[in-house]
Chain A
């Protein structure tokens, strides 16, 4: 008893340290595996190329992006978009030099793999940083904080690891449900590019003129739905009576995978540039924004699409058609957007 009173805290600190160090080890394994998978995929398994290409890939994994300063927030979205586009272009150009003969699908897979591996690399480094500081300063509180957030960190890392398998085989992701629903309506009409890696087509639905927009599949693209909608409304002069957005959304723990929910607003994730643009166009032209989301966990959203999600596709379409009937009249124009990664989903 006296031993426990005197050494209790030490024992506890030791247990926390142990626990955190195990998690750090796990993250390292995930990070190493993702790097290995990326290298293997890029080199196609040929050893001769590994020596040449692996250092280049390692360089990508260390790539950083400096976010624009937001002290003077006016115009910050434009800057953010500029930086993200530059980053994207640079990565794509580098991939072209790495594998000049890759087709668009393979190139997009490499891009996605590198993104996932570099995210894992980043998570690992940050966690390791705090772990080492905690150890060095023997601060139990730094370690305890790390231990508290670790389940969430590991969940995110797990999701990224799961994504790698889907990427490598170019299988549709849970996030691809929006493009799947909208893409089906686009099959028999001509597709035109309206923004970078973003296509639209025109069709007819319940007597309304519908303009369907998604990223360009079956390569793994998310496109630029923000610019797409903006160009359709302002350049192509399509003045829609409504915009309907279909996207995957994160479910809360306890909610069912594949559950469909309806709402109002721009249903789109990411860093915020697209949402900003869509909200701005919609506000400026007074266009109502309707949202339909298909719920799934973060792991499901970036791994191979789950059965429950795929089967929600038909019901999502019914919901969309009901919104079309309830909220618009015959002869109206509607923009319907399928938001998400189009890996393994054509239109």
Chain B
């Protein structure tokens, strides 16, 4: 009987997530990871690569739990 109330609402704390944007150079495939900015979307082309002047494109936007260090 005493176990019943335990079955109720799961209120485990969810890990906090941060969203990152991954930009990849289309020529040298250098990847850079930065925080998500509003207006970002996957396959958006933006700016030039710092090392080879190739075109940058956003290849991934994803959420990752914040690492506790």
Contact = CB atoms under 8 A, between A and B. Distances in A.
A172 B42 contact: yes
A12 B4 contact: yes
Given A8-B1, A22-B9, A147-B8, A304 B42 contact: no
A240 interface: no
Contacts, number: 96
Contacts of B1: 8, 11-12
- Main DSSP-derived SS at the A contact region: helix
A212 to B, nearest CB: 13
B42 A218 contact: yes
Interface string B15-40: 00101001000000000000010101
A284 interface: no
A103 to B, nearest CB: 12
Given A171-B36, A183-B43, A305-B62, A15 B9 contact: no
Contacts of B8: 19-20, 22-23, 147, 150-151
A183 B43 CA distance: 8
B19 A304 contact: yes
Contacts of A150: 8-9
Given A169-B36, A183-B43, A18 B5 contact: yes
Contact of A305 (B4, B44, B61): B61
A141 to B, nearest CB: 13
Interface string B28-69: 000000001010111110000000000000011111100000
A306 interface: yes
B7 A344 contact: no
Contacts of B62: 172, 304-307, 309-311
Contacts of A180: 42
B41 A304 contact: no
Given A12-B1, A304-B17, A217 B41 contact: yes
29 contacts: A15-B4, A15-B5, A19-B9, A22-B9, A23-B9, A147-B4, A147-B8, A150-B8, A150-B9, A151-B10, A169-B19, A169-B38, A172-B62, A180-B42, A184-B59, A217-B41, A218-B42, A304-B63, A305-B61, A306-B62, A310-B22, A310-B62, A311-B60, A311-B62, A313-B60, A344-B41, A345-B43, A346-B42, A346-B44
